[in-house]
Amino acid sequence: MAGARALLRHCPLLLPQDRHGTAYEGFVTAQGRDFHIRILLPKDLQLKNARIECSWHLKKILRGYRHILKQRLHSCPDLVSFMVELKTVLEIALKNTQDLHIPRPPEYYSCLVRDLETLGWNRVAYVDTGLTTVKLKAEDSCGRQHLITLKLNAKYPTEPPGCLVDFPVPFAVSWMPQNSLIDIYNQFLAALESLKEFWDALDEIDGKTWVLEPENPSRSATTRRIAIGNNVSVNIEVDPRHPNMLPECYFLGADHEVNPLRTKLNNNMHLWDPEISLLQNLRELLEIDFPSRVVLEKSDFAKDCGICYAYRLDGSVPDHVCDDPRCGQPFHQACLYEWLQGLPTSRQSFNVIFGECPYCNK
């Protein structure tokens, strides 16, 4: 209910179309203009699998921002957060679209070229033909490569450029009319160092374990679903500002497999040591060794869905497992829900559906 009120406050023209909260339609407002939009969520309400439909005009305006919006769909915790991000991106896109039609004074170009020369062309990854979009590259202290995209308006340097980065936290620029691109670049470098421990922790997990989701994580992604064994995994949500603290953990798998893991986590929680790595802490608290990329292939512990016979379906991997220890067959939630709905013997209570396993009939 609180989520619905928050959504109504931020987007009063976007209304739910069903009682399950899986379809919304209406308008998103930016710079006094309304744009038609429709958002379809899967039954599990996971934003990463959402489908967004909009007018051709809005699609054209957001064309250059698709990868940013896709990242936000994966990293935002709920629909309200995503809509706030969408409105911010739309504001920037509209501002830059308008700027394309504003003649820029000669001083704009001379100031921009001077700033780029001061910054150093070796730090420039891209400049568009109209000199309105600039991408700068940087390397953090661990050798990771990063980009910052600057969208300059006609009033630069009186007004700061819009900044787009692949960060798990907002990046706000401090700007004065006398500032230049090198000031933004230095703030970018400082932000990279502030996120160093977060990326170190996730890089170790990506390199030493089998990450089931996301398949190709962006630098803004804060979640990892890590394989533990046959059809057993843990989904962790890491706080980018406090990466050495205990993350939120959610276990997926059959009850007889995950219940002992939950018990170990609860019993050993007091042993969490912020002085050692996130992965080492998880190993010690759960008293396990995660499957290693060096020793095992993904096929050794990841099975295809028992209904559609595919491993990845619309970006998702099987996340529901039969609780019978003699079966343990995994399924995609969408496949299993559709299967159970089609059974005459299944029953539903609120948002839970009960029925027989397609494999063992338990």
pTM: 0.63
pLDDT digits (tens, 9 = 90+) for 205-217: 999 998 988 888 9
CATH code for 303-361?
3.30.40.10
User: Pick the residue with more confidence: 272 or 258?
Assistant: 272
Higher pLDDT, 342 or 87: 87
Contacts of 335 (CB under 8 A, 6+ apart): 305, 307, 308, 313
CATH superfamily of the domain spanning 209-301:
RWD domain-like (3.10.110.20)
Q: Which CATH number fits domain 1-100: 3.40.50, 3.10.110, 3.40.1360, 3.30.70?
A: 3.10.110
Multiple choice CATH, 106-194, 3.10.110.10, 3.20.20.140, 3.20.20.10, 3.40.50.12160:
3.10.110.10
* The residue count for the chain: 362
98-130 pLDDT, tens digit each? 655 567 888 899 999 999 999 999 999 999 888
Whole-number percent of the chain with pLDDT over 90: 40
Q: Is 60 exceeded by the pLDDT of residue 2?
A: no
For the chain, the domains span: 1-100, 106-194, 209-301, 303-361
* Per-residue pLDDT tens digits for 18-76: 888 888 898 888 887 888 999 898 888 888 888 889 888 888 888 888 888 888 888 88
The highest-confidence range among 10-19, 146-155, 194-203, 311-320, by mean pLDDT, is: 194-203
Measured CA to CA in angstroms, residue 168 lies from 1, 46, 97, 102, 188 at distances of: 27, 18, 26, 33, 14
What's the CA gap between 157 and 114, in Å, rounded?
12
Mean predicted lDDT score pLDDT of the chain: 86
Question: Residue 178, class by beta-carbon neighbours within 10 Å (0-12 exposed, 13-18 middle, 19+ buried)?
Answer: exposed
d(CA 195, CA 168): 9
Asked if domains 1-100 and 209-301 share a fold, the reply is yes
pLDDT tier at 263 (50, 70, 90 boundaries)? very high
